[in-house]
Amino acid sequence: MSRILVTGSTEGLGRAAAESLLLEGHDVVLHARNRQRAEDVRELVDRGADLVVGDFTERDAVRRIAAELNGTRPLDAVIHNVGVYRGPDVMPVNIIAPYLLTALLRGPRRLVYLSSGSHFDGRPSLAGVDWQGNGPGSYADSKLFVTTLAAAVARLRPGVLSNAVDPGWVPTRMGGPHAPDDLELGHRTQEWLAVDDDPGALTSGGYWYHRRRREPHPAVHDEAFQDRLVQTLTEETDTAL
């Protein structure tokens, strides 16, 4: 069985993925933003899940969690699920945090990044991006960046399976109660890519929707843009990939 970190797993798609993987017998590491939110997953902890706590708007918290996990049994996979839709935390949570975890965590051979159909509306430009979260960030831009990061990791780390997933517009707290997509299907592709030995799940560099590989924004597979993004994130966080 695999050991999998699911970030942002106190509710929504993250919790659904964590519950399903735990039910299948995998060793799941949950993530909660703070101790209050950790109470929401007490049941899963009682059933054997591990838990890390830290606010992904704070880079030091991300670094602390990475160090904590590096001191335990190695992870086999990470589902980078955590995300915010609007406000100043968009870039810190949606792209800086997964970048730092990717750079700092030792061991994971499978990385799954949560993208969105909104990434098609993102701008393939790094000029003027507020990585610190001092003002409102563009959700579409953040999802274009994290989808590009997934493709860059697939190219730069050939021994790692790195993929991005569009879970669809599903009825979570972020998506709203009237979202039209299937909540159940919204987390199955992430789980499949994280643990399955099906040939499709053993590919890398894909952009997926309900287990079907799709063509992402053209910038995602532009190696020059990938390199600019990685270099910018390296300089911004003072942490090399």
Question: In this structure, are residues 70 and 35 in contact, taking their beta carbons and an 8 Å threshold?
Answer: no
List for the chain the helix, strand, coil content (%; round to 5): 45, 15, 40
* DSSP letter, residue 198: S
**Strands of the 110-114 sheet, one edge to the other:** 50-53, 27-32, 3-6, 77-80, 110-114, 161-165, 207-209, 212-214
Question: In this structure, are residues 170 and 85 in contact, taking their beta carbons and an 8 Å threshold?
Answer: no
Catalytic pick among 85, 99, 113, 143? 143
Instruction: State the pairing for strand pair 212-214/207-209.
Output: antiparallel
Active-site residue 209, yes or no?
no
Catalytic pick among 113, 139, 207, 209? 139
Task: Give the rounded distance of the alpha carbon of 6 from its chain centre.
Answer: 8
Q: How many CB atoms lie within 10 A of CB 1?
A: 11
Active-site residue 85, yes or no?
no
> What residues act catalytically?
139, 143
